[in-house]
Amino acid sequence: MSVGRKLFIAGASLLIGIVGLALYVTIWLSYNPETIVPPATTNSSGQVSSNLFLATTGSIDFGTHPSWVAYLIRHDGKWVNSTVWRVPAHSVVHVTIWEYDSETGLRNPFISMVRGTVGGVEYFDGKAVRYLNPNLPAHTFSIPELGLNVPLAGITQSAYPADMTNPHNTHQTISFSFKTGAPETVHWQCFVPCAAGYLFGNGGPMQTVGYMDGYLKIV
């Protein structure tokens, strides 16, 4: 093969790669999910609190990537595909997560420690825990800017897939609370490498808003 032909092939390959990367970034930046505002209350002492009711599923079953794993939020009586939420500043956020996905396990046991929650615990099916066996989590709910990390125990492989349309179907129930500070927008994500078919499980839904990560708008 001549030098000129080699240079042509190398140049064409580089151009295709640049175009592909530009297209991917354009699609990623153009995705703008609805911002969901969960219900908030104020008690007699003036403390504001809000309630996030979330679920994780091993396969979202609709949209552009129906096979992708995803977080959903309960809003107006239905599960909504949005991972951008708005909560009050200087408030307490109460989170309930129904875990419908199966156990994946952690590559870093440090992530199996509960951190940044009120009381330093999560409630796993009603029991207060500070640490999960690294083999149990299916996902985490983590906000690095707030020092928050909560491992989410998955259902057993034999129980998967679970039917999210049936509220009495098999799922794990995890709950916890955390506090917000001054107004800011923070990034939250899952740290369990749960993206099947991607290098080391960390591509695709793990890096896409609307699936395994999103934003918390503190206002």
pLDDT at 20: 55
CATH of the domain at 43: 2.60.40.420
Check if the beta carbon of residue 173 is closer than 8 Å to that of residue 180: no
Shared domain for 22 and 100, answered yes or no, is: no
| Per-residue burial over 158-177, b = 16 or more CB atoms within 10 Å of its CB, e = otherwise | eebebebeeeeeebbebbbb
Return the pLDDT at 83. Answer: 96
**How many angstroms separate the CA atoms of 212 and 119, rounded?**
26
Give the separation between CA 29 and CA 208, rounded to whole angstroms.
Answer: 10
Q: Are residues 125 and 73 in the same domain?
A: yes
Q: Which residue range is the domain that position 91 belongs to?
A: 35-218
Residue 55 and residue 23 in one domain = no
Question: How do beta strands 137-143 and 148-153 pair?
Answer: antiparallel
Mean pLDDT by 10 residues, the chain (219 residues): 66 68 48 83 90 93 88 94 96 96 84 96 93 92 97 84 69 96 97 79 86 96
Determine the pLDDT at residue 36. 95
Same domain assignment for residues 23 and 49 = no
Whether residue 70 is found in the same domain as residue 23? no
Beta bridge partners of 94: 51, 177
3-state class of 69 per DSSP? coil
Residues 6+ apart with CB under 8 A from 212: 69, 70, 71, 139, 189, 190, 194, 195, 205, 206
Same structural domain for residues 10 and 108? no
Same domain, 184 and 148: yes
pLDDT of residue 52: 97
* DSSP-derived 3-state class of residue 1: coil
Task: Write the DSSP assignment of 9-38 as a string of letters.
Answer: HHHHHHHHHHHHHHHHHHHHHH--PPEE--
How many domains does the chain fold into? Answer: 2
- Residues 196, 117 share a domain: yes
Domain match, 96 and 17 both: no
Backbone dihedral angles phi then psi of residue 56, each to the nearest 5 degrees? -120, 145
What confidence score (pLDDT) does residue 9 get?
Answer: 67
Is there a single domain that holds both residue 139 and residue 193?
yes
Based on the fold, state whether residues 82 and 160 are members of the same structural domain.
yes
**Predicted local confidence at residue 125, as pLDDT:** 80
**Whether residue 116 sits in one domain with residue 76:** yes
Q: Tell the burial category of 189 from Cβ atoms under 10 Å away from its Cβ (0-12, 13-18, 19+).
A: buried
